[in-house]
Amino acid sequence: MASRAFNCGRRAVCISQQSYIQQRTLSTLPRLQQRAIASPQLQPWLHIPRPTQCLRSIPVGLARYSSGASEGLAKTPLHELHLRYGGKMVEFGGYDMPVQYSGQSIGESHKYVRSACGLFDVSHMVQHQFTGKTVIGFLESMTPSDLGGLQPFHSTLSVLLLPSGGIVDDTVITKHSDEAFYVVTNAGCRDKDLKYLHMKLQEWNAKHSEDEFVRHDVVNRGLVALQGPASQQVLQSLMTPEFKNLDGLYFGQAMFGALAVDGEEVSVHIARGGYTGEDGFEISIPKEQTEKVTEALLAAEDGITKLAGLGARDSLRLEAGMCLYGHDLNEDTTPVEGALTWVVAKNRRDRGDFPGAKQIVNEIKNKPSRRRVGLIVKGAPAREGAIIKNSEGKDIGVITSGCPSPTLGQNIAMGYVEENYKKAGTEIGVEIRGKVRQAVISKMPFVPAKYYKGEASGSEGTGSTFRDTAIGAALLALMPEF
């Protein structure tokens, strides 16, 4: 594969003679757009093939900021902003993170996201980039997803698996091309995930020639989640003209774009989706520009966006029926038990070539012994660890997450019950502080999702949106695998 390199000092693109046609395509663009493509901010997303000697697993460096008051905790690029806005800081996933902000309760913040727009700092999440000729095979060797069939600039929820079928972590995988993927994993699983990925990568590359090696990089960027019905209005107000049309970017799709902030264009990666059940976007930003972009998002459209913390994020995801790893999922839970059978692609079930396939496929065919379910609980809210009982008082399961629902005004929870109690409407009991409270199995999500899927299902969406921009067309020409 021809080697390509970007010369940022001259703000120009230097491409090998074998890529002469690609260089001609770039040279036809206006100089401003040439500069945008050559900018250092875009480079981590251009997936330039590295020399083969660099394609082995490389040491991973994780950013840590000055410790300040929270000794020993890592800090995101927005830490100082959180303090200025009155963030009440707690430890989460090894980071000093805001649980809420002064002047707004968790319940009020929750409702504001549902009605307008909230901004969450999710920079503690781990952003990965995997590149190489055999990268699809590598990622499929750890997950049950059909990544070969995933379209460019589309995303899927997936899981990293153990040979037992247990879940190492849940993850969102975005395909940029057949040779480049963007993957986000959980902050609390950082150390074990990186150890797992390093081991898997060493095993994979040991079986392949150098030109087939897969490379893994941790992308050191900020990440914010803009969530709520006004999120498109807010984000679109900052997009540069060539990226203005977000109507063509649907839930589960991604794109590269540029935001106009303080007279400067900031290159970003945008994925439509989130962890709240609302329409929204997760925006990956150059680390040094994360605070500036966040301030611009908060000021946009007459300041309709408010910061939201971990407290609201947890109650929103629970209403949306979404799992929190380490609570609702763990290494002793299979995707089928976790009510995530849909992440196991049908062609992968037939092939049976993923970790734990024998156990997982058997559970799909013959049912598991337990299943994750939703519950509506009367009286006091059920918290993690509360025992679920049947009408005869027998222990049949356990609560893994629970809270009062600000939207419904009821106590909601999720947990695991024996398979024959999973049906919605089944009446059960939950032991809370020594007293058994009445509860009923409920379908999830508790609150209907409002993901933006466009007027016509099955539309090409972001593919056409991305290709219709001048910069997008040039990037596609520079990356023929798209």
Q: Which of 129, 124, 131, 130 is nearest to 62 (CA)?
A: 124
Is 431 known as a binding-site position? Answer: no
Task: Measure the CA–CA gap between 288 and 473, rounded to whole angstroms.
Answer: 27
Q: Which of 156, 63, 145, 210 is nearest to 355 (CA)?
A: 145
Task: Measure the CA–CA gap between 396 and 417, rounded to whole angstroms.
Answer: 6
Task: Measure the CA–CA gap between 397 and 372, rounded to whole angstroms.
Answer: 10
Task: Measure the CA–CA gap between 243 and 262, rounded to whole angstroms.
Answer: 17
HEC letters along 158-193:
EEEECCCCCEEEEEEEEEEECCEEEEEECHHHHHHH
Task: Measure the CA–CA gap between 142 and 202, rounded to whole angstroms.
Answer: 13
Q: Which of 115, 455, 457, 451 is nearest to 277 (CA)?
A: 451
Task: Measure the CA–CA gap between 105 and 221, rounded to whole angstroms.
Answer: 29
Helices (H), 20-179: 20-27, 31-38, 79-84, 106-115, 135-140
Q: Which of 189, 221, 219 is nearest to 76 (CA)?
A: 221
If 0-12 CB within 10 Å is exposed, 13-18 middle and 19+ buried, where does residue 418 land?
A: middle
If 0-12 CB within 10 Å is exposed, 13-18 middle and 19+ buried, where does residue 354 land?
A: buried
Angle at 88 between CA 83 and CA 89, to 5 degrees: 85
Please state, as a whole number, how many other Cβ atoms lie within 10 Å of the Cβ of residue 295: 15
Given a contact cutoff of 8 angstroms between Cβ atoms, the answer to whether 442 and 388 are in contact is no
Q: Which of 174, 185, 196, 194 is nearest to 62 (CA)?
A: 194
Q: What is the dihedral of CA 381, 384, 387, 388, to 10 degrees?
A: 70
Q: Which of 220, 218, 227 is nearest to 282 (CA)?
A: 227
For 98, the enclosing helix (H) or strand (E) is: strand 95-101
Query: Residue ranges for the binding site?
Result: 282
Residues annotated as binding site for substrate? Answer: 282
